[in-house]
A = this chain, B = another copy of it.
Amino acid sequence: MASEIMLRGVGRRTGIALWRQIADAIRAGISSGLGDETGKLPSETELAEQFGVNRHTVRSAISALVNEGILRAEQGRGTFVISPSRLTYPITRRTRFSASLAEQGQRGVSRLISHDIIEAHRDVATSLDLEEGVPVLQINSVGTSDDTPVSRTTAWFDHARFPDLLSHLKTTNSVTKAFAASGLDDYVRQSTLIEAYHATLDDIEIMGLSPGSIVLVTHAVNADLDGRPVEYSKTRFSADRVNLQIELGSNAAED
């Protein structure tokens, strides 16, 4: 079926090598159902025709994707898609990190990789409704689904209000449970801002992305039921591996 979704979209003298443009197009096409039922891509010659380039150029693109672990090339048989599907990450008033990932990917986990007590600077202070310079707990974690890193998060918490949060985080490995152990039973998503940019070197290293790939960034504030912010987080999702699903709430008549 669908194998001419991408067709054209490559240009020259753009500062982006043709082989990378084609690699990006194939990677994007895979999530929208490129490749037949067996996951077999069109032949190099066919792809070269579709994109209007030389077969060598297509080979460079495929070679890069094989290197990323997205494709597998078998001599005499063809080129095959390895991980065909894209994760859908829900954003709701009650978004819970680890739970959401686990629902779709079989083994979704969030792993704490570093932490620190720092002074809140502008963005963090305003988001958490604190004075600049007060101590906040900053944690970095990586979200994984089926052994593939799909996101990385930096989150900040008011250290004065939750002095023992870090130790709870380490034992429970869950923000929700750590909050509960700190006496906060429930919290809701207060605001979410979404932007997108090209992966930085850090993104590339930590999430195993390829240069030039896209990162979806959410800036989120969670608040307790009184509306006081308790967590500010910045999560970078690999746009090749996840979509964001916004749930604005019940769609019954609102009044």
A189-B251, A201-B9, A249-B93 are known contacts. Are A196 and B211 too (CB-CB below 8 A)?
A: no
Please state if A243 and B19 are interface contacts (CB–CB under 8 Å).
no
Of A20-28, A107-115, A126-134, A151-159, the stretch lying at the interface with chain B is A20-28
Interface residues of A in 45-97 (CB under 8 A from B): 60, 64, 88, 91-94
Tell whether A118 is near chain B: CB-to-CB under 8 Å: no
Q: Tell me the smallest distance from the CB of A42 to a CB of chain B, in Å.
A: 19
Please provide the chain A residues from 98 to 125 with a CB less than 8 Å away from any CB of chain B in the complex: none
Whole-angstrom distance between the Cβ of A65 and the nearest chain B Cβ: 12
Beyond A19-B15, A212-B212, A225-B253, is A244–B193 a contact (Cβ under 8 Å)? yes
Residue of B16, B194, B210 near A17 (CB, 8 A) is B16
For A171, the chain B residues whose CB sits under 8 A away are: none
The proximity string for A residues 220-238 relative to B, scoring 1 for CB distances below 8 Å and 0 otherwise, is 0001010100000000000
Q: Is A8 an interface residue (CB 8 A)?
A: yes
Shortest beta-carbon distance from A50 to chain B in Å? 14
Q: Is the CB of B189 within 8 A of A28?
A: no
The one of B194, B211, B239, B243 that contacts A16, using a Cβ cutoff of 8 Å: B211
CB closest chain-B residue, reference A28: B197
Residues of B within 8 A of A246 (CB): 91, 191-194, 246, 248
**In the bound complex, do residue A193 and residue B88 qualify as a contact, i.e. CB atoms below 8 Å apart?**
yes
Residue numbers in B under 8 Å from A190 (CB-CB) = 251
Whether B211 and A11, one on each chain, are in contact in the complex, defined by CB atoms closer than 8 angstroms, is yes
User: Are B64 and A15 neighbours in the complex by a CB distance under 8 Å?
Assistant: yes
CB-defined contacts of A20 to chain B, threshold 8 Å: 14-16
Given the contacts A9-B201, A188-B251, A245 and B193 also touching, CB distance less than 8 Å: yes
Are B15 and A191 in touch, CB under 8 angstroms? no
**Nearest CB in chain B: distance from A176 CB, A:** 16
Instruction: Tell me if B197 and A214 are in contact (CB < 8 A).
Output: yes
A15 touches B15 (CB 8 A): no
List 12 interface pairs A-B (beta carbons < 8 Å), by A numbering. A14-B212, A15-B19, A15-B212, A17-B17, A21-B198, A93-B254, A192-B246, A194-B194, A194-B245, A195-B216, A214-B214, A227-B251
By a beta-carbon cutoff of 8 Å, the part of chain A in contact with chain B is: 8-9, 11, 14-17, 19-21, 23-24, 28, 60, 64, 88, 91-94, 186, 188-198, 200-201, 204, 210-212, 214, 216, 223, 225, 227, 239, 243-249, 251-254
